[in-house]
Structure formats: structure tokens, C-alpha cells
Structure 1
Amino acid sequence: MIQARDMTPAELAALLAFHADAGVEWLVEDEPVDRIAAFAGERAARHVQRAQPQPAPMQAAAARGIPAPPQDQKPARSQAALGSTLPAIPDENAVAEARFAAESARSLAELKTAIEGFASCNLKASARSTVSVTGSGQSGIMVIGPMPSADDDREGTAFSGRAGLLLDRMLAAIGQPREAVYVTTIIPWRPPGDRMPSQPEIAICRPFIERQIALCEPRQVLVLGNFAARFFFGETGTIHALRGKWREIGGSGHIVPALATLHPQELLSAPGSKALAWLDLLAFSERLQQAPAQV
């Protein structure tokens, strides 16, 4: 376990900020705080809120004084909806094209160019940008999230916005600056409405992320969130069941140990879970110190 005396002032500051976000106010309290129970209460409150009836769209518009469109007038279609009607390439052909494009890349730079030029996934038609990876991977660490968020799509880089800032603090708390970590997502394009990708879309994107792992050759991978954990581990459990257990993942012949933990966005929604994420980060850092450094 990392000791405070072994950390730099910057690392200590990042760790204190992470604890503050988790609700820690005192290093030692008179009574223990049950963070698991706090998370359960927050989840129950969200379920109650979702169960409350919501007004229909037309009723909500009328309540705000917005006139209803004539019944014979159809609403204008968005550019994303128009893009979804473009002629689709058969899924099996698109997967083959993705595999060929990924395996043809001999470097991460070539793979980035191949992904940006790939046009056989319908997700690209509705996304604003092809989300780029960040960092260099020189630390031997690879962080893989699920799919781009609205902030990522707008900025064009993985883990932007508040979730990205929290990820920065999480990495800094274990002494890893973000610029030295290879941060990417399984899906390069944001699905419309932040929906889950379909199975054909997942199959099309799989060769690209597997090739990234092979070319980056990380010592360890940190997997973030439900979708990413299920994608790599082939299981259907939630992140709370899949987190904290070491498994092996890989692609193109490169096998690497991986540990799953909660996604920063989930930690923002349920701060009580940050205690669990901190345990995972400690386990990740401890194994990283035991692994041989990259040459």
C-alpha cells in the first residue's frame, strides 16, 4: 500500500481532493460512515424519482405556452436522423473492413488515421467527431472506457468534461499523470442520444480497440464501467460484481492483466461509491509497482 511519506506534495494534494469529492471531512471520525448504505439510499431515491409519472411531450409544451404544430405537418428531422437513413453496408462486410484496416496499421498513429478514415459504421454518420485518444502510454498504463460522452464528442478527445477531470484526479492519486497514460474508448463515435451500441456496432469497433492494445503493449489496463467490463470479460454482471478482480484481456496476441472499476461519471452520480473505486486504484497501483517497467 502507498504510504503518505512516499508521495510528492502534488500527489498528496490530488489524493486529498479525491477524498474530498468522496465526502471525507475528517481523517478520523467518532463513528464509522457506511458508504455502501449511502450508495444504496441514493440508488433508491433515483428509482423513486424515475417511477414518478412524467407529462407527455405535447402536454409539457402546452404548459410552457408553446403552440402545437398542425396535425398535417411533420416535425423536421435532425441531421443525425437523416444520417441514419444512409445506405448501410452489410454488417459482416463492415466487420471484415474494420479488421483489415486495424491489422494493416503498424503504429498507433497509423491506427488513428485508419479509424478516422473508416466509414462503414453507422455511428460515424450521427457523431460530431471521431474521438481521439489522449496520453502516450509511456507509463505502461492503458485506461479504456466505454463510448464517448457528449463532452467527448464536442471536444474530440476521450474523457473530457467533469468525468475527465475526475479521472485526472484518480490517476494523480496513485502517482500517474494523465499525459503519461494511454486513455481511450471502445467505441470511437458517440451513439445518438447516448444509447447503448448495438451488437453489430460493437462487432465493427472491436478490431480497433484490440489493435490498440496490441500496439500500445501496456503492462496493465484499467477498465471503466459496466459496458467496458462486460465487453472484455464476456460476463453480464454489473460493475459492482465485476470490479476489483484481475483478469486477462488482449488482442492480436498481446495478453495483459486488467482490473475493472467504476466509471468516473458513475462516481459523480453516486459519490458514495468512491470508496470502492479507491480500493481498486490501490490494488491497481500495488500491482503496477510489482510489474517490471517497460524498456
Structure 2
Amino acid sequence: MSESPTVTEDDTSFVPQLDARQRAMLAEMGVRVWAPKPRPAAVAVDAGVAAPASPGAAPAPKEAPDAVAHRPAERAPTPVARPAAVPSPVPAQADAGGKRPAGIETMDWPTLQAAVAGCRACGLCQGRTNTVFGVGDTQADWMIVGEAPGENEDRQGEPFVGAAGQLLDNMLLAVGRSRTGEGEKGAYIANVLKCRPPANRNPQPAEVVQCEPYLARQVALVKPRVIVAMGRFAVQSLLKTTDPIGRLRGQVHRYEGVPVIVTYHPAYLLRTPTDKGKAWADLCLAMEQM
């Protein structure tokens, strides 16, 4: 993939115009938004955190609409019941030998969630409180993919809760989306692993391999228009690469034909707040794919 063009300090044409609510959300993320000094004989424009510009991007108009106008007209979502957290008894589909159930690639939402709840394909099932299936609009055009559940996620059966989840919610609100929204205002959120690794250790390769078919089916059912991969293990699972996130950012990758934008995990951003501006640039790149 070609690298993104260099963005100068005064180039703000790629920054979507932000309303008061979005500026407040960026402030919650710790991302500073400022306006440059007016240029001579030119119209002053707002500037946000620098993000890679699309090739051939046109300068922002004098009075640009808010970020929602940068996306296509809202399509009416098909009402779909969101899967609720399911405890972890072994369903009829689970194999007595501890293998994954067959036919994952043809499962509907209820069958897939039941299969995840009863999965005993790896040792992570022995220490879980709940499996962590996913949350959000199953018809959303954005899909967020994280790494693995932590302690709070294991307890509640929902991905991205606690401090990292609050930061993710603020990041989504900054681009006009939420985990409770629908269609162009929503997002579907899932992890690569559906069970918590002991003591929040890193996922092991064998565990990722066992869980990947569940995530692949979730992507196939959601049919997102863009995937935002958050964190090293999400990126490695989707893109089959060991390249670091810093090298993969700023480019549009593909998973089964769907554009994939690589960015940092919210938990990392809490530890390294200086990189929040880069995460905002990644969200801007994701918005451009719409």
C-alpha cells in the first residue's frame, strides 16, 4: 500500500468541521483542537489534530457541515435484536471432545452466540466467568475489533468496559457514533478472543486460532463498510502480519474486501496519552472510507 502524503502544519483541508459536541468528546480523549492564525488574503479554517489526507483532497469550504455530512445519507437499519450476554453452559452444538462446533460459517446470530457461550476448544474456558461475544448494532457500517476481554469484560460479558471502554465511547462519539446507535450512528464491537486470558496476559497463538472463526462469522453477518482494528493482536489476526502498529497506521488495509484501519487500543492510549492525536487521525481516515 502506498504511504499517506505528507501533511504540513498549515494543511487543514482533511480535518472535518467539528461541532461543539465533537470538540467536547475530543477534549475527553485528551486531543487538543486549535485554530491557526488567519492566512493573508485567504479564508481562515479550523484545524484539528493532524491526520493523513486523502490524495487529491479538496480544501474545506468556508462553512462546512459537521462531520455527519461527510458520510452518505443514513440508510434505514433493519431492526435486529442485539444478542444479550449469555452465560457459559455447553450447548448441544459443542463437541464432547472439546472442539469447536461444526458449521460456524453458516450460523445465524443466536446459533453463533450459543456456540461461543459453550466453546471449550482451548483452556481459557476453564477460568472464564462469561464469554464476551459482542455488542452494538448488528447492521452497523462500522465494526470495532479489539484484542481480548479483561477482568471487567469477563464479569459483565461485554467488550470494552471500564476506563478503556469509556475512552472508546468518547472516541466513537467524536465521530458521531455509539455502541447503542444504529446504522450510520452505531458501531458493532467485538474482540478476537471471546474468553479472558488469565491475569490479562497476552493471547497465545493457539487461542487466537481457535477463536478466529467466530470473529470471521461476526464480520460476515455484520457486513461492515469499514473495520477499525484496535491493538496488536486484533491487527495480527485480521491482517496476518507481525508488522508493528506504527508501520501499519495511515494506510487502508483489507479483510475479506472490507477496508481495515489500524489504530492503538484504548488501554494503550490511557498509558500513552501523547498518542491520542494519532488515534484521532486514524478515525478521520476511517471516516474517509465512508
Percent identity, please: 31
| Corresponding position of 2:284 | 282
Q: Offset of 1:266 from its aligned partner?
A: 0.7
Distance in 1 (alpha carbons) for counterparts of 2:213 and 2:222:
14
Q: Which residue of 2 aligns with 1:109?
A: 110
AA aligned to 1:278 is W
Question: CA 1:127 to 1:241, structure 2 compared with 1: closer, same or farther past 3 Å?
Answer: same
Rate the CA distance shift 1:190–1:132 in 2: closer, same or farther, 3 A: same
Cα deviation for residue 133 of structure 1 reads 0.8
Distance in 2, Cα, partners of 1:17 & 1:276: 15
Tell whether the 8 Å contact from 2:140 to 2:222 is kept in structure 1 after alignment. no
Matched, 1:207 2:207: no
For the residue of structure 2 that corresponds to 1:100, the secondary structure is coil
User: Is the partner of 1:98 in helix, strand or coil?
Assistant: coil
Q: Determine whether 1:4 maps to 2:10.
A: no
- Decide which of 178, 192, 196 is 1:190's aligned counterpart: 196
Which residue of the partner structure matches residue 17 of structure 1?
25
Shift of 1:197: 2.1
Matched, 1:153 2:159: no
**Structure 1 counterpart of 2:82:** none
Deviation at 1:259, TM superposition (A): 0.8
Residue 228 (str. 1) matches residue 229 (str. 2): no
The answer for unaligned runs of 5 or more in structure 1 is: 36-88, 289-295
> Residue type matched to 2:204 in 1?
S
List gaps (5 residues or longer) in structure 2.
1-13, 38-48, 51-94, 181-185
Kept in 1, the 8 Å contact 2:203–2:233? The answer is no
* Matching residue of 2:272: 270
- Identify if the C-alpha distance between structure 1 residues 101 and 117 changes in structure 2 by more than 3 Å, giving closer, same or farther: farther
**2:187 aligned partner, one-letter code:** V
Q: Give the secondary-structure state (helix, strand or coil) at the position aligned to 1:205.
A: helix
Distance between the aligned counterparts of 1:282 and 1:241, measured in 2?
18
Counterparts of 1:141 and 1:281 in 2: how far apart (Å)? Answer: 11
Letter in 2 for 1:259: I
Matches within 5 A, 1:234-253: 234-250=240-256
Q: Offset at 1:177?
A: 2.2
Let me know the Cα RMSD of the aligned residues: 2.6
Whether the 8 Å CA contact 1:15–1:172 is kept in 2: the answer is no
Cα offset, 1:20, TM superposition? 4.7
> 1:19 is aligned with what amino acid?
A
TM-superposed deviation, 1:4: 2.9
Higher helix share: 1
How far, CA to CA, are the matches of 1:25 and 1:18 in structure 2? Answer: 8
Work out the CA distance in 2 between the residues paired with 1:192 and 1:209: 21
Alignment check: 8 A CA contact 1:172 1:178 kept: no
Which deviations, in whole Å up to 9, do the C-alpha atoms of 1:65-110 show, x marking residues without a partner? xxxxxxxxxxxxxxxxxxxxxxxx9xxx76xx426152241x2222
Q: Is the 8 A contact 1:15 1:169 kept in 2?
A: no
- Give the Cα–Cα distance (whole angstroms) in 2 for the partners of residues 25 and 4 of structure 1: 11
Instruction: Indicate whether 1:219 and 2:221 are aligned.
Output: no
User: 1:27 Cα shift?
Assistant: 4.9
* Distance change >3 Å, CA 174–CA 120, structure 1 → 2: same
The residue that corresponds to 1:178 in the other structure is 179
Normalised to the residue count of structure 2, the TM-score between the two structures is 0.68
Secondary structure of 1:24's counterpart equals: coil
The correspondence of residues 119-130 of structure 1 with structure 2, limited to 5 A, is 119-130=120-131
* Secondary structure, aligned partner of 2:229: strand
CA distance in 2, matches of 1:133, 1:221: 14
What secondary structure does 2:102 align onto?
helix
Deviations 1:155-203 (A, max 9, x none): 2100001111111111111111222211000100000011122222111
Q: Which amino acid aligns with 1:111?
A: L
| Equivalent residue number for residue 262 of structure 2 | 260
